[in-house]
Chain A
Amino acid sequence: DTAVSQTPKYLVTQMGNDKSIKCEQNLGHDTMYWYKQDSKKFLKIMFSYNNKELIINETVPNRFSPKSPDKAHLNLHINSLELGDSAVYFCASSLGTNEKLFFGSGTQLSVL
């Protein structure tokens, strides 16, 4: 049973397209996150949601729009994809914000 699952694992698309990445957790956690890992392996938080409410938006372009339909899901929609959006995107979850994070296996996005 996968605790935090992301789909798709790989996403190849053209510049200017719109794409979505889905994330689901079955751990009963109330806080979910999106992290971005660039080509140099640097990981940085993008968004954090607690009980479906946005907590953190780390100066991410507004082309990125997270949506949390319920506590178990946090999807990431990206409009007008740019070359610089190519990265690995990780979803994560935790029970509250003081507990350890469980990460998904990442979605590798390649923008051509």
Chain B
Amino acid sequence: AQTVTQSQPEMSVQEAETVTLSCTYDTSESDYYLFWYKQPPSRQMILVIRQEAYKQQNATENRFSVNFQKAAKSFSLKISDSQLGDAAMYFCAYRSAWNTDKLIFGTGTRLQVFP
């Protein structure tokens, strides 16, 4: 069975600085998708970024980018120029390309942003 591990329960960053959130996963599959979701205090789950495993190029979305290391099964999220609104829980998630009906989530990292 696939698992997703986020080893940092909490992280903090100064406004305008850069922070990296770690995620590792375990799978025997070669084709899958990886996601980062943001959950602010409003509780809404918001998709931040998505990576297809067959793509070598790292996904980017404005200030958010990933470092996808397929051999190491690592999928870290880098937030550049951090803003106060980035403060939230961040969840890494995995979805198989074969069994596509469910997302498997990590335990989350709480990010605090200080002015």
A: interface residue count bin: 20 to 34
B89 part of interface (Cβ distance < 8 Å): yes
Q: Is the interface of B mostly helix, strand, loop or mixed?
A: loop
B44 part of interface (Cβ distance < 8 Å): yes
A-B pairs with CB below 8 Å: how many?
48
Q: A40-B107, A41-B89 are in contact. Are A97 and B44 (CB under 8 A)?
A: no
Residues on B with beta carbons closer than 8 Å to the beta carbon of A56: 101-102
A45 part of interface (Cβ distance < 8 Å): yes
Contacting pair B45 A97 (CB below 8 A)? no
B91 part of interface (Cβ distance < 8 Å): yes
How far apart are A68's CB and chain B's nearest CB, in angstroms? Answer: 14
Count of interface residues, chain B, beta-carbon cutoff 8 Å: 18
How far apart are B36's CB and chain A's nearest CB, in angstroms? Answer: 12
Q: A43-B91, A90-B45, A106-B43 are in contact. Are A100 and B105 (CB under 8 A)?
A: no
Among A35, A41, A48, which residue has its beta carbon within 8 angstroms of that of B101? Answer: A48
Smallest CB gap from A44: residue in B: B105
Residue ranges of A at the interface with B (Cβ–Cβ < 8 Å): 31, 33, 35, 40-45, 48, 50, 55-56, 58, 88, 90, 92, 97-98, 100-101, 103, 105-106, 108
Q: Give 10 closest A-B pairs by Cβ, nearest first.
A: A103-B45, A97-B100, A43-B105, A45-B102, A48-B101, A106-B43, A41-B108, A97-B101, A56-B101, A55-B101
